[in-house]
Amino acid sequence: MRGGKPAVSRDLRVRWPVIGAEEREAALQVLDSGVLCGSRAPQVRALEDEFARFVGAKFCLATNSGTAALHMAVTAAGIEPGDEVITSAFTYPSTALAILQHNAVPTFADIDPVTFNIEPGGIEERITSRTRAIMPVHIHGLPCDMDAINAIARQRDLVVIEDAAQAHGATYRSRMAGALGDMAGFSLNATKNLPCGEGGLFVTSNERLLGRAASLRILGQSRDEVPLDPDHPLDSQGDSEFSGMGFMYLTQEIPAALARIQLRRLAQSNANAAANALLLTSRLSALPGVLPPHCPADRTHVYHKYRVRLDPRAMGLSVDPRLARDRVMAALRAEGVEVSLWLDRPVPEMKIFQARTGYGGGCPWTCHGSDVRYGVGEFPRTTALLADSFVVGSQSYPLFPQPRALMEQYADGFEKVIPRMTELLGSGAS
Ligand SMILES: Cc1ncc(COP(=O)(O)O)c(C=O)c1O
């Protein structure tokens, strides 16, 4: 900021997603095959088999987005219009939109301030006679406390849908995210640890739920089990009955082929993210008032996002946390450290979840008689997190592909900036 030499040489950064010769080759092979799409097309089916095996679930359906996979799960759960689904106040809006898309009502619970995941006690407080499901979100790649959540669900006969959009390969008590509830939705968006462009994966081990989700995926048609005839890849001999409301959520062969290549690299890429996080955490935790993310001993974190909290009081400063955070980010950026924000308010405070007259004029909040509504400040732990924290890395330069040398330089940047907080805050500090 003063014109000196930045701590970070930006040419060390690796931009995400990493696309190499294998991806190019796979895309060309799809083009050469002449089969571009289809629920029984070879790349789509192979991806589904490989991902189900990877997660340790029986079934997988590839979709064209993570939101579609979550919407399929909400529908498959047998939720009726106006029923309530409890989810986290700290998530991407898609989680709650997938609930609204089925004319159900999202109700939100606050987070645990250490893991940033939905807090099981908060779930219990939100349960009403209309609650049908819980949708925990493994935020930033750290699994939720699923034994506690599943115990609540069992007691009340609720369905558990994991939003695993950010958590490919993360584990809880040695089991993979995606195999910890009744169903799960993953995203394959280009920003994710497992990217293909746009895409998603629905996962379950329950055949009944699979059938319902499959029907929603293709316009309400039942799942086509007749094997593909390679000579007629666009023709089907399957059931032509349309028995339910459906959407067109199929993915295509090129994205599926790309996801298969990326899946082979996922373990190594997640391991690199964990090693980078370990390095950052060991150096940043030595700085007063800097709180690196915590991973409980019974889980593995895949660091889709590495979020750092700041505690100005622990730095001996009496200052608005948001101001301290903003000044630190500006100084880190000047040092070349890649830092970013992700969302600026709890999801229930966003307009769509506040409005009673939105949603095409027929908002389910009113038409189903729901009285669920949220005031600003009702989620103090999420609000505090979003004021005093930021992400190290960005969606274009996340932690997973970066070399260790870059992480050392990021830590150098923090060590240069944090001791100068008083100077950075100027008249804002007391
Ligand atoms: C927590 C969470 N849930 C759901 C989604 C939706 O995934 P997609 O963008 O593939 O629809 C995302 C993606 O950004 C996400 O981060």
Q: What pLDDT is recorded for position 312?
A: 95
For residue 182, what is the DSSP state? S
Q: What pLDDT is recorded for position 373?
A: 63
Task: Judge whether 87 and 118 are in contact, CB under 8 Å.
Answer: yes
Q: What pLDDT is recorded for position 397?
A: 98
Helix ranges (DSSP H) in 285-395: 321-334, 351-354, 364-367, 380-388
Q: Is 117 in the pocket of ligand 1 (CB under 6 A)?
A: no
Give CATH 3.90.1150.10 domain extents, the chain.
266-343+382-428
What strands lie across the sheet with 175-176, from one edge to the other?
175-176, 171-172, 299-300
Place of tokens 């608005």: 320
Q: What pLDDT is recorded for position 360?
A: 41
Residue whose CA is at the smallest distance from ligand 1 atom 7: 66
Angstrom distances, CA of residue 402 to CA of 5, 268, 270, 397, 405? 21, 12, 11, 8, 8
What would the pLDDT profile of 330-363 be if each residue is shown by its tens digit? 999 999 999 999 999 999 988 888 765 444 444 5
Q: Is 66 in the pocket of ligand 1 (CB under 6 A)?
A: yes
Alpha-carbon distance 30 to 192, whole Å? 23
Residue whose CA is at the smallest distance from ligand 1 atom 8: 66
Place of tokens 């094997």: 227
pTM above 0.75, yes or no: yes
What would the pLDDT profile of 91-120 be if each residue is shown by its tens digit? 999 999 999 999 899 999 999 999 999 999
Question: Hey, which of 189, 194, 217, 249 would you mutate to test ligand 1's pocket, going by the most ligand atoms within 8 Å of its Cβ?
Answer: 189
Task: Judge whether 119 and 112 are in contact, CB under 8 Å.
Answer: yes
Q: What pLDDT is recorded for position 356?
A: 56
Give CATH 3.40.640.10 domain extents, the chain.
21-264
H/E segment holding residue 147: helix 146-156
Q: Left, alpha or beta for 99 (phi > 0: left; psi -120 to 50: alpha)?
A: alpha
Q: What pLDDT is recorded for position 359?
A: 45
Q: Is 103 in the pocket of ligand 1 (CB under 6 A)?
A: no
Alpha-carbon distance 70 to 34, whole Å? 30
Alpha-carbon distance 213 to 304, whole Å? 27
Flag residues of the chain having pLDDT under 70: 355-375, 427-430
Stated length of the chain? 430
Would you give the end-to-end CA distance of the chain in angstroms?
22
Q: What CATH topology corresponds to 266-343+382-428?
A: Aspartate Aminotransferase, domain 1 (3.90.1150)
Question: Hey, which of 16, 63, 65, 67 would you mutate to test ligand 1's pocket, going by the most ligand atoms within 8 Å of its Cβ?
Answer: 67
The one-letter amino acid at 314: A
> Which two tokens mark 132?
């049908």
Alpha-carbon distance 405 to 304, whole Å? 19
| 3-class secondary structure, 263 | helix
Alpha-carbon distance 298 to 347, whole Å? 28
Q: What pLDDT is recorded for position 374?
A: 67
Q: Which CATH number fits domain 21-264: 3.90.1150.10, 3.40.710.10, 3.40.640.10, 3.40.50.11540?
A: 3.40.640.10
> Which two tokens mark 40?
């029984």
Q: How distant is the alpha carbon of residue 162 from its chain centre?
A: 10
Q: Left, alpha or beta for 138 (phi > 0: left; psi -120 to 50: alpha)?
A: beta
Taking alpha carbons only, the member of 237, 221, 239, 219 closest to residue 229 is 237
